[in-house]
Structure 1
Amino acid sequence: MRWTKKDIKTYMDSKEYIDTIVVPLNPFQLSNDNDLEKITFQSEVLTVFTQEIEKELTGRILLTPTYHYLKSSSKDNEVERINTWIKDIQEQNFTQIFFISFDSSWRQYEQALHGELLWLPGIHSGDLNSKEMHNVIRDQVEQVVELIRSYWKTSQ
């Protein structure tokens, strides 16, 4: 389910079956022209990617709004803010929390996050509407969906 009025109503009616949260982590920074096109493209890919995961696992997961942060900000501060989100989330029936990001700098902080970090090598450029890009995204979605399912199996 997505962060939409319609899906949240469905979530509220069937909370007991939805035990997994997916939180996209996405950098934002207008002050660095060198990275602007890359992080904008990765933002688009991350949106498509997480929506495809949500489609695959509908009825079991809730896709939160994207967590945006300044690329130059302190990750220690961001971890604290994210964990505040997670504290609120954990007041519900969620037992699995996944963060998805193309930003490799999160790997240094994954132990401090109150959830599992799924870091993916970033796609830096391309045509989001091309068949090749859809195939790449589809392949990664299938792998991440299997990984999430493996977490479900081990937590039962």
Structure 2
Amino acid sequence: MKWNEQDIENYVGAKEYIDTIILPLLPFQLSQDANTKKDAFASEVLTIFSNEIEKELTGRILLTPSYYYLKSADKEQEVKRLNAWVEDMKKQPFKHIFYVSFDSSWKKNEKDLNGNLLWLPGIQSGDVHSEEMQKLIRQQVQQIVELIRSYW
């Protein structure tokens, strides 16, 4: 289920079955022209990726709005903010929280997160609509779906 009116209405009626959150972590920084295009591409791919996980596991997970942060931000502060988000989410019957990110810098703070970090090697460039890219995303989605199921 996604963060939209129809899916949230369905969630409220079936929340006892939906015990897992997927929370995409997306860096944003317009001040660094050299990386802006690459970051925008990564954001687009992670959004597609997260939506595909949601499709694969519909009925068991809720895909939350993405968490945006400045790449230059203090990760310890961001961990505190994320954990506050999660504390609010855990007022519902969620047992599993998965953060999804291409940003390897989260690995340093993974132990402090209230949930599991699913770090994926970033895809640097390409055409997100190409058959090759769709196949690559599909393969990664299948692997992550199996990993998530292992936590259940």
Same fold (TM over 0.5): yes
SS in 1 for 2:35: helix
How far apart are 1:82 and its partner, in Å? 0.3
| Number of the residue aligned with 2:10 | 10
| Number of the residue aligned with 1:104 | 104
CA–CA separation in structure 1 for the residues paired with 2:10 and 2:79: 30
How far apart are 1:71 and its partner, in Å? 0.6
CA–CA separation in structure 2 for the residues paired with 1:95 and 1:60: 11
How far apart are 1:34 and its partner, in Å? 1.1
Q: Deviations over 1:62-98 (max 9, x none)?
A: 0000000001100011000000000000111000000
Percent of paired sites with the same residue: 61
User: Which segments of structure 1 move beyond 6 Å, counting only runs of 4 or more?
Assistant: none
| Number of the residue aligned with 2:78 | 78
CA–CA separation in structure 2 for the residues paired with 1:43 and 1:62: 19
Establish whether residue 120 from structure 1 lines up as the match of residue 83 from structure 2: no
What aligned pairs does 1:2-151 form with structure 2 within 5 A after superposition? 2-151=2-151
How far apart are 1:17 and its partner, in Å? 0.3
SS in 2 for 1:141: helix
SS in 2 for 1:76: helix
TM-score (norm 2): 0.99
CA–CA separation in structure 1 for the residues paired with 2:5 and 2:76: 32
Note the residue ranges of structure 1 that are not aligned, 5 or more in a row: none
SS in 1 for 2:124: coil
TM-score (norm 1): 0.97
How far apart are 1:103 and its partner, in Å? 0.2
Aligned partner letter, 1:126: G
- State the aligned residue count: 152
How far apart are 1:124 and its partner, in Å? 0.8
SS in 2 for 1:111: helix
CA–CA separation in structure 2 for the residues paired with 1:119 and 1:34: 23
CA–CA separation in structure 1 for the residues paired with 2:148 and 2:53: 10
CA–CA separation in structure 1 for the residues paired with 2:140 and 2:14: 29
SS in 1 for 2:138: helix
Aligned partner letter, 1:102: F
CA–CA separation in structure 1 for the residues paired with 2:110 and 2:8: 28
